[in-house]
Amino acid sequence: MATAGDAGFLAYSALQNLDIATLNRHCKVDGIPITYPQHAKVKLLFMSQATQQAKMIQMCKTMNISTDGCTTAGSEKEGMSPKWSPHIDTLNKEQLEDYVTLTPDVLAKLKNWSKSIKEVPDVNDFSIKMYLANANVISEEMFRTYKLSKPYEMRKHVHSMFYNKLPDHPSFVALQAQSNSEQSASADENTEVLFVILDSQSGEPVGGYCTCAIGRSQACVHMGAALFSFAGFIASGTPELPSDPAFSEVSGTGTGTDGENHFALR
Ligand SMILES: [Zn+2]
């Protein structure tokens, strides 16, 4: 029986059923930004618990303690690592080991997300096209006419973008963004949170994660949209990513109307 009291781990369904205030309290304790849409907070909190469980099991194993007491839910932990792209073949063993530690919940909790893109590698449309075509997000026929594709069209609905140099992971940098699924939709459930890990030298996308239904399979339209938007800002020479819309405007929850920038405050 998982309650907030024992070991602090909650089942996915229990997290889904929390009221907003309680969910936000859990997020604050865990370091997940409360400005995320509700469904994204649930997913990332759940992953964060799973990561902590995995670490506990590892610790128990290292200390030669039975892992029975360390954890309960095992089956719900799949799909945590960011997915691969063909670029992964170019990484050495050390880089691969580093890469798999960059799970979405770990990325969500990083404090040094920034609007500054003065020192970003060259992220360009060609490498994004390669990445999306490989993941079947755009078809081969769309390779030439990618400006007609859904991810390119949807770049206008990307907001709350941040860049992270990942100082502790020299081979990689990361992009975080939120993307509304539909043009008119501003409701919480239509806003996805996504992360893309890129090669710190070449700027090529390596892998990513999105809170949408297919966001665990390397790439989706939201990641594509965020990448195209990001590449557009880099190419335009702007030193900063655009500021975020007010929290309530995006989430539609009516809370947090102060437009608090959760990242800048920490
Ligand atoms: Zn997505």
- For helices 221-236 and 125-134, angle between their N-to-C axes, nearest 10 degrees: 170
Lowest mean pLDDT among 87-96, 134-143, 144-153: 87-96
User: pLDDT tier at 93 (50, 70, 90 boundaries)?
Assistant: confident
Q: How far is the CA of 54 from the centre of ligand 1 (A)?
A: 25
100 vs 129, higher pLDDT: 129
Q: How far is the CA of 208 from the centre of ligand 1 (A)?
A: 10
The full set of domain ranges for the chain reads: 12-71, 86-251
CA 4 to CA 54: how far, in whole Å? 18
Q: How far is the CA of 247 from the centre of ligand 1 (A)?
A: 20
User: pLDDT tier at 88 (50, 70, 90 boundaries)?
Assistant: confident
Lowest mean pLDDT among 6-20, 175-189, 251-265: 251-265
CA 167 to CA 165: how far, in whole Å? 6
> Is 158's pLDDT higher than 60?
yes
- Surrounding ion ligand 1 within 5 Å at CB are 192, 210, 212, 215, 220, 222
pLDDT in tens, 204-251: 999 999 999 877 777 899 999 999 999 999 999 999 999 988 754 544
Q: How far is the CA of 148 from the centre of ligand 1 (A)?
A: 18
Q: How far is the CA of 212 from the centre of ligand 1 (A)?
A: 4
**pTM greater than the 0.95 cutoff:** no
To the nearest whole number, what is the mean pLDDT of the chain?
81
User: pLDDT tier at 86 (50, 70, 90 boundaries)?
Assistant: low
pLDDT recorded at residue 231: 98
Q: 221 exposed, middle or buried (CB, 10 Å; 0-12, 13-18, 19+)?
A: buried
Q: How far is the CA of 51 from the centre of ligand 1 (A)?
A: 21
CB 180 within 8 A of CB 157: yes
Handedness of CA 87, 89, 94, 99 (dihedral sign): positive
Q: How far is the CA of 122 from the centre of ligand 1 (A)?
A: 23
Q: Which residue has the tokens 């200390």?
A: 63
DSSP per-residue string spanning the chain: ---SSSTT---HHHHHTS-HHHHHHHHHHHT--TTS-HHHHHHHHHHHHHHHHHHHHHHHHHTT--GGGT-S--GGGTT-SPPP-GGGGGS-HHHHHHHTT--HHHHHH-S--BSB-TT-----HHHHHHHHHHTTSS-GGGGTTGGGSHHHHGGGGEEEEEEE--TT-TTEEEEEEEEESSSS--SGGGEEEEEEEEETTT--EEEEEESSTTTTSS--HHHHHHHHHHHHHHHHT-SBPPPPPPHHHHH-SS--TT---HHHH-
Q: How far is the CA of 5 from the centre of ligand 1 (A)?
A: 33
Average pLDDT (87-105) is 86
Q: How far is the CA of 115 from the centre of ligand 1 (A)?
A: 22
Q: How far is the CA of 202 from the centre of ligand 1 (A)?
A: 24
Q: How far is the CA of 203 from the centre of ligand 1 (A)?
A: 20
Q: How far is the CA of 193 from the centre of ligand 1 (A)?
A: 8
